[in-house]
A and B are shown apart, each in its own frame.
Chain A
Amino acid sequence: MSEVTKTFVVTRFDPDKDEAPRQQSFEVPVQPDWKVLDGLNYIKDEIDGTLSHRWSCRMAVCGSCGMMVNGKPSLTCKDPLSSYGDTVEVAPLSNFPIVRDLVIEMDGFMEKFKAVKPWIMTAKEKAVEEGTNRQSPEELEYFKQFSLCINCMLCYSACPVVGNEPDFLGPAAIALGHRYNMDSRDEGSALRNEIFRGEGTVFACSYANECSEVCPKHVDPAAAVNQSKINAVIDWATSFVVPRGGAK
């Protein structure tokens, strides 16, 4: 296969040496079938072993290799180099603090994730003898799309609200909370809707729709966030007339 050389302009940041992130260029001989991640791995293996970047599965499932490629959030293992010109600019995900080079600080994201209680909550645990929690294909269809999220955080790096309002729970976390609210086995929607009605949650979203545009798994987090707005309001209104059950 014929090789061409592309210039990778990569953001570098060493917390022990650098005051601020800087850019460094690398000439990389690329194969026609390479993805952006292959180019970064070539730099790491053959040119500069100090380059830091996250990756794992190489098949768009683990969500580790999200970066900004030519200014757009991208899953680098899925993004073909052939779709770019001679220069490819790779930077860490926007809206996140940078730990080193292309590695971003994920702890804030994990805190937001936990805040929506992303697990099935029930008022009373079912005994094993009572059998499994059955679910019909139709019931599965209500939330299946929102369960496909791989936590790659591209949606967070595309969202203009995330960059301006640090308390905003953000697209993936809200989509996950919505996924459990739509699950027929779950009884915690009242609790999650209460969280969603709080400050910095679903109503902070101004529906830029960028999260859905960049989502590599077509989860459509913008739909989840905006459906959650309506559900949170309906839940609030019905709470005055219908006694509350469900998990606490």
Chain B
Amino acid sequence: MARAAHPGSMSPSKPGRTRTAPPSMPPQFPTSGRYLSYTLFGMTGILYLLAGFVALRVVWALGDGPAAWQGIQQQLANPLYVLFHLLSLVAVVFVGVRFFSLFPKAQPAKIGPAKPPPAPVLTAMLYGAWIGVAGGLALVLAGGIF
């Protein structure tokens, strides 16, 4: 059974003379078919919010001195935190791949005389930038740079 849509969905500004039945959402929304991907895409926001709080905690601990920093390092080694970070990684990859697949067609056909490059080139540029930034950051974190 489909969920009810907003009662005003696609209604005219002045109601007609005939009584109408209220609109309903597409039956597959929000957890079946292609809607599942869209719903999961939206729900990744919860993980990003939580990851933001964790990052704030870490920065806070950094300001509280070496003992606090050691404490937070130990906490982050907890398997639950490791699982959370793995889930966050999956969410980032999922959103990235979804965004990169939809990005090319969202580009204007032209801006003044300039036209965007072909879609495969745009996609390759996005993945190239992603891999480059991720690789660079990994090198920094591993102590390879600085």
Residues of A within 8 A of B (CB): 13, 15, 18, 20-21, 68, 71-73, 91, 94-100, 104-105, 107-111, 142, 156-158, 160, 162-166, 170, 182, 206-210, 213, 220, 222-223, 226-227, 229-231, 234
The contact size tier of chain B is 35 or more
Q: How far is the CB of A72 from chain B (nearest CB, A)?
A: 7
Q: Are B26 and A226 in contact (CB under 8 A)?
A: no
Q: How far is the CB of B1 from chain A (nearest CB, A)?
A: 11
Q: Are A223 and B106 in contact (CB under 8 A)?
A: yes
Q: Are A73 and B10 in contact (CB under 8 A)?
A: no
Give Cα A109 to B22, complex, Å: 15
Q: Are B25 and A94 in contact (CB under 8 A)?
A: yes
Q: Are A208 and B12 in contact (CB under 8 A)?
A: no
Of the A-B pairs whose beta carbons lie under 8 Å apart in the complex, a sample of 7, sorted by A's number, is A18-B21, A21-B21, A95-B24, A108-B11, A160-B25, A166-B10, A227-B108
Residues of B within 8 A of A (CB): 2, 5-6, 8-13, 16, 18-30, 33-35, 38, 42, 102, 105-111
Q: Are A227 and B10 in contact (CB under 8 A)?
A: no
Q: Are A105 and B29 in contact (CB under 8 A)?
A: no
Residues in chain B near residue A230, CB distance under 8 A: 106-108
CB within 8 A of A95: which of B9, B30, B110, B111? B9
Give Cα A220 to B106, complex, Å: 10
Q: Are A164 and B38 in contact (CB under 8 A)?
A: no
Q: Are A95 and B109 in contact (CB under 8 A)?
A: no
